[in-house]
Amino acid sequence: MPLPTDPLLSQQWHLHNPNPLLLDLNVFGVWNPAEGRAYTGAGVRTVIIDDGFDYTHPDFDNYDQSLDFDFVGGNDYDPFGLGSDAHGTAVTGIIGAAADGTGAVGVSYGASLVGYRTEGLINDDWLVSIAEAIGYASTNALGDTINISQGIANDLDSEFGNGYNAARFDAIETAIGTVVDSGRGNLGGTIIKSAGNSRVGNYDVNSDDWTNDTRQVVVAAVDQNGFVSSYSSYGAAILVSGFGTPGEVVTTDRVGADGYDLGDFTSTFNGTSSAAPMVTGVVNLMYDANGGLGWRDVQTILAMSARHVGSAVGAGHAAPEQFDWGFNAASTWNGGGMHFSNDYGYGLVDALAAVRLAETWLFTGTAAATSTNQFSNYVDVLNVATIIPDGNLTGTNFTGEAFFNDYVERVTVQMTFSTTFMGDVEIYLTSPDGTVSQLIADQAGGLDFNGTWTFETQAFRGERAAGNWTVRVVDDAGGDVLTVSDIVIRTFGMSSANDRYVFTNEYSDYAGLFGHVQAVVDANGGVDTVNAAAVSSASVIYLNGVSGFIDGTDVSFSNIENAIGGDGGDQIFGSDIANQLFGMRGNDMLNGLGGDDTLTGGTGNDTLNAGTGVDSLSGGVGDDVYVIDGSDIIDEDVGGGIDRVASSASYQLAANVEYLTLTGTAALTGIGNALNNVLNGNSGANTLNGITGTDTMSGGMGDDVYVTDGGDIISELAAAGTDRVMSSAGHSLSANVENLTLTGAASINGYGNSLNNLIYGNSGNNVLGGGNGNDTMNGTTGTDTLIGGLGDDVYTTDGGDILTEAAAAGTDRVYSTASYGLSVNLENLTLIGGAAINGYGNTLNNIMTGNGANNVLGGGNGNDTLNGTTGADTLIGGLGDDVYTTDGGDTLTEAAAAGTDSVFTSASLSLSANLENLTLTGAAAINGYGNVLANSLTGNSGNNVLGGGDGNDTLNGAAGTDTLTGGTGADTFIFNTALGATNIDRITDFSVVDDTIRLENAIFTGLANGALAVSAFAANLTGLATDALDRIIYETDTGRLMFDADGSGAGAGVQFGVLTAGLALTNVDFFVV
């Protein structure tokens, strides 16, 4: 939120002092923070009890006339007052003059303002109206804060109620109780009361039974330089200080000539009357930051955030100061006790520090501190009348023990005594830890006193109550008698072991001094919290005993569970137990370590590292990074920045988180949310699912699966595994992604890329396009259109699909679960499933394969290959040189003059009409027979019977001992396999006139190609070579055919065949190839 532009703001030094050597309220950081929410008091209502209010003032846009009241005279609803009643208008402007671009601006310019006018100072009617106004401010106006910049006549003649009706003070006390007990829905309202302007008269607020009520925030005044103002009343009941420099505070004035100055504003306002509304404005800002605070919380926060000003601690005091600064014996403020002075209370209010603590005060589950849960000790110290030695400066000590070890917030001492000269009386209270608070000293001049009075002190805040409390009473001059007959001490505070260790920008000032330790060890159990929210610089906080730093100074913590950072870029480390860590502002790093932790980043770009355990993480506003192990829970605000999760386990992004990166090497699943996510895999096989939104997914290495709704960007590295996209909408594969599966039932389309893609449709009517590459496409159910594109593609169809293939776009195959005829440019067809279905080719050279049922395969035109596999299939080659593969139980149909066709069979087979060639497959002893055509018959490795039938046939028994019968015609018998005793073929009907034996020269070595030479042939009864040139020998009496490799007869010839004996066989019956 930008700063106000009101022209007088530059003169309101109390809001922002242009002189860096002087002080201000430090409010600009609350109104206009570098990051995070700004606070102006919006939603908070202040009731100002004063002399009159010019609600027509142009800077009172936020004044609520529907709730104001005039308690003067007959009581009415118009507190405007007289022209001279300017005090209330000035006070109101300090609290909440509107930020409207004109005039001045208030500390809490967004607060709602209500004026209550009371009787003029100072009389009995005035006290009556004060009591009524305080009560009604809470019950009728429902004020969150009540400002009272008024007090009794602070002079020697009016102290200790002299000249006043005591019942009026009792009524005021009752009204204060109404505010703190039941105001703000029983959280308690906050009354801010000026201490008074009677320092010159040596006036202590403890001599006023109203001003010393510590249920109020009693405010002293300081100058710009931080020293107490020369007029500011003092006393132990003061909590904090504001500014009251004489003649220098700029605020609103009555409009026109009325009021302090002639214009609508004044620059001469001062006194504790100006200091109190400054504190009221700060409290309004605190309530804006945290409306759940109790009234006791407000007091503690003000005290802990207040700044030391004036003389140095331990250096004595300088005029107009009357008291030295000292530290009490608390242990939870900056590693030790809190500074206090009867001149200043705990110091000058610091708006930014107070608001930062207010924001975080209830973070760790501590209940608001109210009247209901206020704890007290009652210590009955004295019940016997005791005369105090006259003129003895040592005085008399009265000691009583408090047994309940609660945290002290404020203490009262009720004493019944009598004296004929109050000016000689001094009263001191000492805590069990040795802190001394002066309750009263040398007051009231020559007045006497005989009755009961309650003295109050704020000085022991944060100390423990248990132990001996001592009241020291001194009669410091002779001539008068001081008798004390009853003393009761009451401590008020909090009974809890859940400690708050608060750190501020003053830690570096006192670390290691005055008992402020740098190794904080909690020794009383409970769930404790380090709160460094008021620290503006970066902190490093370890809860496991390791040394870090706050405010640039070393510190360590042990036995403390929770930690809260400040405005800097903090690093906070938990421990092995369950921790709550809060980063607040700045770019923080939170590390849960062990235990089930809660990590809250706050504003800024935070890194939250869960560690082990089931942790809960919330980044807040800013671009946050979550490091988790998958079992953790992330809660991110809407519009809370661009956030990232790094997970070592499968994980689905919580709402409002944008980025997910999977870590490690395991096969993990990463799921997005409704936002536009970026999902990054690790080196394992990941599944990434962006769900809704326009997501960007990158699997990295590994065989990854992408689940998309079609609007996502998928980025994959080259050679980074075999990846698949599962898409519920139309999708085109991006580079380096191999496979695509369409999901759902919608009629959507899917397209490949240049890789070898696997593309699957869904149950709708899909268009699948393979693109370049050797693609595999399956439309599954539906009437799909499959377009292979370039490459050797594979189509799977249920028969109802349209398959489109470009000419010369690769050698493609169709797998069909139903009868199917190949469309143009598709080469191959395989029937799948168990149904008796049929397949038909086209004009190309098709490869047709059946399934296990009885299929009809038709090759069509082209040189087709048909294989029915199992089942009694019908194979129809059609035109072209076709190849049939059969198991013997099929019907092979070939048209006449429809090409030269070949049959491969694993069972005995006789070629049907119009089939030319037969090859036996496998190793079984099966047989093959030709037809009337010129057949080529080839055996397998078994012992086959081959019969050529009619026609000029070619028979090749191949391996094994085969029986070859050429039948009619000029037949050729081929020997081209390795010779041996198990590979001797018998030719049953060799005709020397028509038939030929063809020899393979690689087997029959040494023979020249072509017709066998005359010299290389011999026919005799021995079967042996007769000279060195004989190679092929026909044993005429047995019909054996021998091969002599060297023709010498030195080695035995090798038989390779058997013919009919006695043939007139010559060399011309052999041909070598």
pLDDT, tens only, 338-380: 999 999 999 999 999 999 999 999 998 889 999 999 999 999 9
- ∠ CA 171-174-178, rounded to 5°: 135
Model confidence at 154, in pLDDT bands (50, 70, 90)? low
- Identify the bridge partners of residue 407 per DSSP, sorted by sequence position: 464, 494
Mean pLDDT, rounded, for 843-870: 94
Amino acid at position 66, single letter = S
- What pLDDT sits at residue 719? 93
Model confidence at 36, in pLDDT bands (50, 70, 90)? confident
Model confidence at 447, in pLDDT bands (50, 70, 90)? confident
Q: Nearest to residue 357, comparing CAs of 303, 406, 408?
A: 303
Q: Which stretches does DSSP call E strand in 130-284?
A: 145-148, 190-194, 217-222, 240-243, 249-252, 265-269
Q: Nearest to residue 759, comparing CAs of 743, 783, 735, 747?
A: 743
The percent of the chain in helix, strand and coil, each rounded to the nearest 5, is: 10, 30, 60
**Which ranges in the chain are annotated with CATH 3.40.50.200?**
39-309+344-360
Question: Lowest-confidence range among 458-472, 638-652, 997-1011?
Answer: 638-652
| Cα 1068 to Cα 994, 1001, 1030, 1032, distances in angstroms | 11, 16, 14, 12
Locate all alpha helices (DSSP H) within 60-112, ordered by sequence.
87-96
- What pLDDT sits at residue 202? 83
In CATH, what is the architecture of 39-309+344-360? 3-Layer(aba) Sandwich (3.40)
The alpha carbon of 900 is separated from its chain's Cα centroid by a whole number of angstroms, namely: 73
Q: Which residues of 285-303 are buried (b: 16+ CB within 10 A; e: fewer)?
A: bbbbbbeebbbbbbbbbbb
- What pLDDT sits at residue 153? 64
Within 13 Å, how many C-alpha atoms sit on residue 633's CB side?
7
Helix (H) or strand (E) holding 617: strand 616-618
pLDDT greater than 80 at residue 246: no
| Cα 895 to Cα 841, 877, 878, 911, 917, distances in angstroms | 15, 8, 6, 13, 14
Helix (H) or strand (E) holding 750: strand 749-751
| pLDDT tens per residue across span 200-220 | 888 899 999 999 999 999 999
Structure token pair of residue 500: 């708050």
Model confidence at 1050, in pLDDT bands (50, 70, 90)? low
* Cα 215 from Cα 191, distance rounded (Å): 8
pLDDT greater than 90 at residue 151: no
CB neighbours of residue 319 within 10 Å: 8
In CATH, what is the architecture of 375-494? Sandwich (2.60)
Locate all alpha helices (DSSP H) within 38-162, ordered by sequence.
87-96, 124-139
Q: What percent of the chain has pLDDT over 90?
A: 91
**Which ranges in the chain are annotated with CATH 2.60.120.260?**
375-494
Q: Nearest to residue 597, comparing CAs of 609, 587, 588, 583?
A: 609
Model confidence at 156, in pLDDT bands (50, 70, 90)? low
Over the chain, what is the mean pLDDT?
Answer: 95
pLDDT greater than 80 at residue 152: no
Catalytic residue among 241, 273, 431, 698: 273
**CATH code that applies to domain 948-1072:** 2.150.10.10
pLDDT greater than 70 at residue 441: yes
- Dump the DSSP string for 764-824: S--EEE--SSS-EEE--SS--EEE--SSS-EEEE-SS-EEE--TTS---EEEESS-EE--T
Residue that the structure tokens 């997501």 belong to: 695
Q: Are 39 and 294 in contact (CB under 8 A)?
A: no
**Which ranges in the chain are annotated with CATH 2.150.10.10?**
948-1072
Residue that the structure tokens 């519009």 belong to: 639
Mean pLDDT, rounded, for 793-810: 93
Question: How many residues belong to the chain?
Answer: 1073
- What pLDDT sits at residue 556? 98
* DSSP 8-state assignment for residue 180: H
Total-model pTM: 0.80
Q: Are 968 and 989 in contact (CB under 8 A)?
A: no
Q: Which residues of 727-738 are buried (b: 16+ CB within 10 A; e: fewer)?
A: bbbebbbbebbb
- What pLDDT sits at residue 901? 94
Query: DSSP 3-state assignment of 29?
Result: helix
Q: What percent of the chain has pLDDT over 70?
A: 99
* DSSP 8-state assignment for residue 567: S
How do 1017-1020 and 1032-1035 pair as beta strands?
A: parallel
Catalytic residue among 6, 24, 57, 87: 87
pLDDT greater than 80 at residue 1047: no
* Cα 757 from Cα 722, distance rounded (Å): 10
* Cα 511 from Cα 583, distance rounded (Å): 23
765 or 1050: whose pLDDT is higher?
A: 765
Helix (H) or strand (E) holding 377: strand 375-382
Q: Are 489 and 402 in contact (CB under 8 A)?
A: yes
Structure token pair of residue 733: 């594969």
Tell me whether residue 87 is one of the annotated catalytic residues.
yes
Q: Nearest to residue 935, comparing CAs of 913, 917, 908?
A: 917
Catalytic residue among 6, 14, 24, 50: 50
Mean pLDDT, rounded, for 935-940: 98
Residue that the structure tokens 């198991």 belong to: 887
Amino acid at position 738, single letter = E
228 Cβ partners below 8 Å, 6+ apart?
A: 199, 220, 221, 222, 234, 241, 310, 320, 321, 343, 344
- Identify the bridge partners of residue 706 per DSSP, sorted by sequence position: 688, 725
Tell me whether residue 273 is one of the annotated catalytic residues.
yes
Q: Are 475 and 421 in contact (CB under 8 A)?
A: no
Q: Nearest to residue 549, comparing CAs of 605, 590, 508, 588?
A: 508
Tell me whether residue 901 is one of the annotated catalytic residues.
no
First and final CA of the chain: distance in angstroms? 101
Torsion of CA 975, 980, 983, 986, to 10 degrees: 70
* Cα 721 from Cα 665, distance rounded (Å): 14
